[in-house]
């Protein structure tokens, strides 16, 4: 991604890389070592994305949009919103209601009723994000260089979730992480990847 971005010219086409990683913990630029509690046999890699610690592994769809924001005509804040919207629409495609939490990028679901449509009470401005009753189902971490994006978003489909217990996910102690399988949606990686790719391509278009 870094090499692709460094070599881009004004006419380089945008791209979307979708993949599945072997088990790995990654730290963002501001990542604090104390958020990696017990890595064990899973490697820890430093990255230059934003955010704190997260885990990637089999059964998770990882999507890396490589977008020229200047050419696309929108700024970083809207870019993040568009990625989150693509995840929300992907979940909705499968009947799941996702939620944003103010101050905590990513997408969350209600643990007791992931298919219900009730809205979350918004976190008041200035207060810490509220995660009571929520599980994180998609994590977001991006980097922008010369108006061009890399890194991206990870959607949990059918994973071994145990490694998330070895970290404070995204820097939040006790934050529960879930996947589509554990909330009652047994779809394949390919199904989830196909829908997420389509939604990202639609919502990240200029």
**Number of domains the chain contains:** 1
Q: Where residue 157 sits, what CATH number does that domain have?
A: 3.30.930.10
- Residue 61 has a pLDDT of 98
| Closest listed residue to residue 88, CA positions, set 118, 67, 109 | 109
pLDDT tens digit sequence for 39-91? 999 999 999 998 889 999 999 999 999 999 999 999 999 999 999 999 999 99
Does residue 126 lie within any of the structural domains? no
Does residue 89 lie within any of the structural domains? yes
Provide the domain limits for residue 107: 2-117+131-203
Does residue 123 lie within any of the structural domains? no
- Residue 130 has a pLDDT of 82
Does residue 147 lie within any of the structural domains? yes
Does residue 49 lie within any of the structural domains? yes
| Closest listed residue to residue 56, CA positions, set 80, 7, 23 | 23
Does residue 124 lie within any of the structural domains? no
Does residue 125 lie within any of the structural domains? no
Which stretches of the chain score pLDDT less than 50? none
Catalytic residue positions? 170
- Residue 129 has a pLDDT of 86
| Closest listed residue to residue 58, CA positions, set 19, 109, 16 | 19
Does residue 174 lie within any of the structural domains? yes
């Amino acid at each position: 991604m870094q090499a692709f971005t460094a070599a881009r010219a004004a006419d380089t086409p945008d791209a979307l890389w979708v993949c599945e990683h072997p088990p790995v913990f990654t730290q963002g630029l501001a990542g604090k070592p104390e958020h990696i509690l017990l890595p064990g046999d899973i490697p820890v890699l430093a990255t230059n994305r934003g955010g704190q610690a997260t885990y990637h592994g089999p059964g998770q769809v990882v999507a890396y949009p490589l977008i020229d924001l200047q050419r696309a005509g929108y700024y970083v804040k809207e870019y993040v919103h568009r990625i989150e919207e693509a995840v929300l629409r992907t979940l909705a495609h499968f009947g799941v209601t996702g939620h944003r939490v103010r101050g905590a990028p990513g997408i969350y679901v209600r643990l007791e009723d992931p298919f219900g449509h009730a809205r979350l009470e918004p976190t008041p401005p200035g207060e810490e994000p509220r995660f009571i009753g929520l599980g994180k189902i998609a994590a977001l971490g991006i980097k922008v260089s010369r108006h061009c994006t890399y890194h991206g978003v990870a959607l949990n489909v059918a994973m071994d979730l145990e490694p998330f217990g070895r970290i404070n996910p995204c820097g939040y102690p006790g934050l529960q992480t879930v996947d589509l399988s554990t909330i009652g949606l047994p779809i394949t990686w390919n199904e989830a990847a196909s829908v997420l790719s389509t939604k990202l391509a639609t919502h990240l278009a200029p």
